Chains A and B, each alone.
Chain A
Amino acid sequence: MIGVFAIQGGFAAHLKTLEKLGVTGREVRRADQLADCDGLILPGGESTTMLKLIKAFDLKSALDQFVAAGRPVLGTCAGAILVSERVIHPEQESLGWVPATIERNAYGSQVDSFTENQSCPAWSLDEYHALFIRAPRFTQVGPETQVLTRLGEQITGVQYRNVTAITYHPELTDETRFHRAWLDHCVYST
């Protein structure tokens, strides 16, 4: 079972994608709901709102333990902001699991949002459709952080140990290949 962090944001679309793949998903709003999850998706949404709610309901230690135990996490858009060590534009706190710097709203406001194809050679994924919605971008990554996807020269997807982070939304398309690959490579790999 895959948990989808549902305190705010685009959790419904991830759950729908998991359903299409025949994988059970669960909305996670409380720490105890993490217990039997094989992996966790942090969806897009507003990272500021999520941070407030993580604090207000004291969820940080449970999330930290989940990651420290080596269980896989996928952060998309706001989720990628949450997992990055340093956040700029503006500076804000984060969960800080991935040695990387990420810039919020890096491409502008909603009128600048765009769709573009992405490919992920490390996971043998040919071009798939991706939505960049008020998207962030990685401006710097640590030496041990693996780059998974790029948009031109810009880094749009990274992996560090059991945490994967992408700045875009594969879950808002009809395709399921990205989620399938994450499940195969990071969650149910043998």
Chain B
Amino acid sequence: MKEVGTIELKTGLAEMLKGGVIMDVVTPDQARIAEDAGAVAVMALERVPADIRAQGGVARMSPPELVASIKESVSIPVMAKCRIGHFVEAQILESLGVDFIDESEVLTPADESNHIWKHDFKSPFVCGATNLAEALRRIGEGAALMRTKGEAGTGNVVEAVRHMRSIRKGIAELQAMDQASLMSAAKHMGAPFTLVRYVAEHGKLPVPNFAAGGIATPADAALMMQLGAESVFVGSGIFKSGDPLKRATAIVKATTHFQDPAVLAEVSKNLGEAMVGINISDIPQGELLAGRGW
């Protein structure tokens, strides 16, 4: 019997994105460059995170006409971001036929308490998490794909590394527990018990886990992959660099051959200027994005 919008179809698309690079783009031209470079998907945005950070103000869903024009310009999947908790933006993106919706901390949150109930949608959702408990809460709400919540728009990978390591550590801790301890762990984590038990049994999240936030070089992408990410999102790192096509191509190659230092050395040559980058300690506490959502 024909079925649509099932969780297996949603995580199935995430499976197909593995070993790939998802690139932020703000125009159809950039989307074509991303596709030419070998991106597995593009994220259609009005402004890249570096500009959102610089310009301030309320950051919202991209205008529908922009999303539609980017969708028309490429054959690969198109993702778009909605604000945390803004289920109407998500409804609009779904009606536009967006392939993946990112409920993203990069945009200004619309709800301080609740994330979107993602099971209600046919479109799959990706959400960010800083640690295992947060990842399991999002998966409980229906997220089909997780990513780290690295500080977008900084060109600084340190936060994404922290999140990936934290999730790994959380998984290892659950695996070491006996059955009786798992309920208590679920209570302390504030995460759904069934998912806590799944992780303890399988040693991994029930959905794919990608890296995002601050990835600016082929080495950054390979670092996240070696730490256990199954794909990488690259935001400002590409189109805020000196030679976007070259850098994008290099990051794609580095993501495939993340375990091969000779390839990584080769693709890292002559890439031109990387984006300048920001030290996390220079960002005022209230402007850190990872603290958005819970």
B99:A131 contact, CB within 8 angstroms: no
A131:B9 contact, CB within 8 angstroms: yes
Report the stretch among A48-56, A60-68, A94-102, A157-165 that lies at the interface. A48-56
B76:A46 contact, CB within 8 angstroms: yes
B256:A113 contact, CB within 8 angstroms: no
Total interface residues on A, CB under 8 Å, equals 40
Residues of B near A172 (CB, < 8 A) are 8, 12, 15
- Any chain A CB within 8 A of the CB of B35? yes
Residues of A near B58 (CB, < 8 A) are none
Contact string against A for B residues 85-105, beta-carbon threshold 8 Å, 1 for contact and 0 otherwise: 000000000100111100000
Most chain A CB inside 10 Å of its own CB: which residue of B6, B99, B230: B99
- Any chain B CB within 8 A of the CB of A75? no
- Any chain A CB within 8 A of the CB of B5? yes
C-alpha gap A57/B19 in the complex (Å): 15
A12:B15 contact, CB within 8 angstroms: yes
- Any chain A CB within 8 A of the CB of B1? yes
Contact string against A for B residues 1-41, beta-carbon threshold 8 Å, 1 for contact and 0 otherwise: 11111101100110111111000000000000001111111
Closest chain-A Cβ to B226's Cβ sits at a distance in Å of 14
C-alpha gap A109/B2 in the complex (Å): 16
C-alpha gap A78/B18 in the complex (Å): 13
- Any chain B CB within 8 A of the CB of A111? yes
State whether A49 and B252 are in contact (beta carbons under 8 Å apart), knowing that A111-B94, A169-B12 are contacts in the complex.
yes
B13:A45 contact, CB within 8 angstroms: no
A117:B1 contact, CB within 8 angstroms: yes
- Any chain B CB within 8 A of the CB of A112? yes
Docked complex: B63-84 residues within 8 A CB-CB of A: 71, 75-78
State whether A7 and B256 are in contact (beta carbons under 8 Å apart), knowing that A49-B39, A114-B2 are contacts in the complex.
yes
C-alpha gap A44/B18 in the complex (Å): 10
Docked complex: B219-263 residues within 8 A CB-CB of A: 230, 249, 252-253, 256-257, 260
B2:A104 contact, CB within 8 angstroms: no
State whether A109 and B16 are in contact (beta carbons under 8 Å apart), knowing that A45-B40, A115-B2, A115-B9 are contacts in the complex.
no
C-alpha gap A134/B123 in the complex (Å): 12
- Any chain A CB within 8 A of the CB of B168? no
Residues of A near B38 (CB, < 8 A) are 48-49, 52-53, 56
Interface residue tally of chain B, by bracket? 35 or more
Residues of A near B97 (CB, < 8 A) are 108-112
Query: Which one of B15, B124, B249, B257 contacts A110 once the chains associate, using CB atoms below 8 Å?
Result: B124
B12:A133 contact, CB within 8 angstroms: yes
A110:B75 contact, CB within 8 angstroms: no
- Any chain B CB within 8 A of the CB of A10? yes
C-alpha gap A112/B78 in the complex (Å): 14
Closest chain-B Cβ to A10's Cβ sits at a distance in Å of 4
Closest chain-A Cβ to B260's Cβ sits at a distance in Å of 8
- Any chain A CB within 8 A of the CB of B162? no
- Any chain B CB within 8 A of the CB of A179? no
- Any chain A CB within 8 A of the CB of B122? yes
- Any chain B CB within 8 A of the CB of A13? yes
Give 4 A-B pairs besides A48-B75, A53-B252, A116-B3 with Cβ atoms closer than 8 angstroms.
A10-B15, A11-B18, A12-B18, A57-B253
Q: Which 3 A-B pairs have the closest CB atoms?
A: A52-B38, A110-B99, A8-B19
List 29 contacting pairs A-B, 8 Å CB cutoff, sorted by A.
A7-B256, A8-B20, A8-B256, A9-B19, A10-B15, A10-B16, A12-B18, A29-B256, A46-B16, A48-B38, A49-B20, A49-B38, A49-B76, A52-B38, A53-B252, A57-B253, A57-B257, A109-B97, A109-B99, A110-B13, A111-B5, A111-B97, A113-B4, A113-B9, A115-B6, A131-B12, A169-B12, A172-B8, A173-B8
